[in-house]
Amino acid sequence: MPELSVCICTYRRPQLLARLLTAVFAQNLAAQRFEVVVLDNDAQQSAASVLAEFAARFPQRLTSLTLSVSNISLARNAVIAAARGQYLCLIDDDECPQPDWLEQLLRVQQQYAADVVFAPVVPEYQDGVPEWIRRGGYFERARMPSGTRIDDKNARSGNVLLRRAALAPSVDGNGPFDTAYGNSGGEDTMLFRRLLAAGAGMVWCDEAAVSEQVPLERASARWLLQRSFRTGQLFMRTELAMAAQPRRRAAYLVLRALLQAVLAALLALGLLVFKPLRAFHWARIVASQCGKLNHFRGKKPHIYGQA
């Protein structure tokens, strides 16, 4: 029985999946200690040839699944259900780890008796990405010393180790990830908030960094503004879902979003000519606040399965 299961959900990224699997099977951790479970969430099964190749090379260590319904929560729940390890390591299909990745995650888990271990995701820019995007740090994420306690603000599922026994109970009968958030995003936020509320210990492992490819189609002002807008939508949705008094919380958040949107818009306009990058910073805040307000139109964002 493997100690750890690497769980991967993939959607129309066969080349990146092949790169990821190559790096995972090259881990320094002893082969008998971990398995790999991959779910192809593309109805056209675009990962089939890659999975067949690796299954032939690692027949006892790779389990592959398919799911035609596009829903990241259903996909993650399915790989977790198929996994046999007491530890579950979730990694995205556009990421790539270093050889000691699993060793470092397990080391920190054991050192701090953690239920959840988060680790860095470092952007890997493709050729042609504008210099202002690189310098702006728009794809950078916060880092901190190993062992730092983590709250829900820095909790993401792209590079994380979970202790299976600590997983929160199913909220809808389908597994730990809420399927109501399977297309909009926010399913990881909801899971980690439930885990924190249940007393789970969450820590950081700075040595287990993975790289994440930043494709050219994301390296634009338009995409970044759209992402900020969607982030605002998801923030409002998850905040109200967990609020003890949703109406009072909504009133406060709406007022705050309106004030911040107006202030950020004034700053963006004032800086546009002489400091365009600073102006763009405030424009992203405007987009985020507008996304929060847009939540009340009742239309959920659809993110999963898109670039």
Domains of the chain by residue range: 4-216, 220-297
Point out the least confidently predicted range of 23-27, 49-53, 84-88, 153-157: 153-157
Domain 4-216: assigned CATH number? 3.90.550.10
End-to-end Cα spacing for the chain: 36
- Compute the distance between CA of residue 133 and CA of residue 220 in angstroms, rounded to an integer: 8
Cβ 14 vs Cβ 47: under 8 Å = yes
pTM of the model: 0.92
**Cβ atoms < 10 Å from Cβ of 68:** 10
**What is the per-residue pLDDT for 173?**
73
pLDDT tier, 202 (very low <50, low <70, confident <90, very high otherwise): very high
Supply angle C-alpha 199, 201, 205, rounded to 5: 160
Q: Check whether 306 has a pLDDT greater than 60.
A: no
Mean pLDDT to the nearest integer, 204-231: 96
pLDDT tier, 154 (very low <50, low <70, confident <90, very high otherwise): confident
* Order of all β-strands in the sheet with 121-125: 95-97, 210-214, 121-125
- Compute the distance between CA of residue 67 and CA of residue 24 in angstroms, rounded to an integer: 22
* Order of all β-strands in the sheet with 159-163: 62-66, 34-40, 4-10, 87-91, 159-163, 116-118, 202-204
Cβ 114 vs Cβ 203: under 8 Å = yes
pLDDT tier, 304 (very low <50, low <70, confident <90, very high otherwise): low
The model's pLDDT over 174-192, given as tens digits with 9 standing for 90+, comes to 799 999 999 888 999 999 9
The distance between the two most distant Cα atoms of the chain, rounded to a whole number of Å, is 62
Start-end of H helices in 31-154? 48-57, 72-82, 101-112, 131-136
Stretch (H or E) spanning 214: strand 210-214
- Compute the distance between CA of residue 295 and CA of residue 277 in angstroms, rounded to an integer: 28
- Compute the distance between CA of residue 291 and CA of residue 7 in angstroms, rounded to an integer: 31
Give me the half-sphere count of Cα atoms (radius 13 Å) on the Cβ side of residue 298: 0
